[in-house]
Chain A
């Protein structure tokens, strides 16, 4: 079982603030790192799948970076909006079976 840690566990910000979260995972046997966005009463939806050390991906105001050598990934949200309120999950995968181990998530609440 992989030890995947996300910090902080929860975060309250004001609309317009920029924020970032951390995902830490074992660097050995790394295959890929997934980020998901999970709104209350909905299903998790994929944001990014990253595989290469130094990889950086962006989708609108959300971006992510990956360091496979030290085992961490950052997720950034620029200019947070109330609709960004959700739980953000990271999950490293092992092997071609795409078996994901999820962290506990960071719950973001953006106040108008």
Chain B
């Protein structure tokens, strides 16, 4: 039972490079989201999706792009990496139906360093 799978676990980028963080879930969850975790700041929402073909911005969306072509996958793209994007990134998924509010399942995280 894989749950939420993130790749890669670690990545070092040079300023200006682009890359995609992958996130896949096998639980048929409608809702998926990306967070970044910085020291002393908790988890902050970057982008989220309530279903295939639907995405929206969270609290800190600048410099990131997302798409949701399938229910299973929700990749996060860094368009032009900056040192301020050095962080640990978590992908999460949950069931999301009207009237229900269910726990989020998190991936194992991607530690990104931009030099």
Q: Which residues of A contact B (CB under 8 A)?
A: 1, 31-32, 34, 36, 42-46, 49, 51, 89, 91, 93, 96-105
Q: Are A102 and B108 in contact (CB under 8 A)?
A: no
> In the complex, A91→B44 CA distance in Å?
11
Q: Are B97 and A96 in contact (CB under 8 A)?
A: yes
Select the residue from B95, B97, B103 with max chain A CB neighbours within 10 A: B103
Main secondary structure, interface of B, reads: loop
| Contact bitstring B31-58, A, C-beta under 8 A = 1, else 0 | 1010100001111110010100000001
- A99-B45, A102-B42, A102-B43 given; A34·B90 CB < 8 A: no
Other A-B contacts than A98-B101, A102-B43, A104-B40, 11 sampled, CB-CB below 8 A, are A36-B104, A43-B108, A93-B101, A96-B50, A96-B101, A98-B31, A98-B104, A99-B45, A99-B58, A102-B42, A103-B42
Scan residues 59-115 of chain B and give those whose CB is less than 8 A from a CB of chain A. 59, 90, 94-109
Residue among B59, B103, B106, B108 making CB contact with A1, cutoff 8 Å: B59
Q: Are A44 and B99 in contact (CB under 8 A)?
A: no
Q: Are A97 and B50 in contact (CB under 8 A)?
A: yes
Closest to B50 in A: A97
Report the number of A-B residue pairs with Cβ-Cβ less than 8 Å: 65
Q: Which residues of B contact A (CB under 8 A)?
A: 31, 33, 35, 40-45, 48, 50, 58-59, 90, 94-109
Give the chain A neighbours of B109 by CB distance below 8 A.
43
Give the chain B neighbours of A102 by CB distance below 8 A.
35, 42-44
Q: Are A43 and B101 in contact (CB under 8 A)?
A: no
Closest to A93 in B: B101
Q: Are B94 and A98 in contact (CB under 8 A)?
A: yes
> In the complex, A16→B33 CA distance in Å?
37
Nearest Cβ in chain B — how far from A103, in angstroms? Answer: 6
> In the complex, A104→B42 CA distance in Å?
4
Q: Are A46 and B31 in contact (CB under 8 A)?
A: no
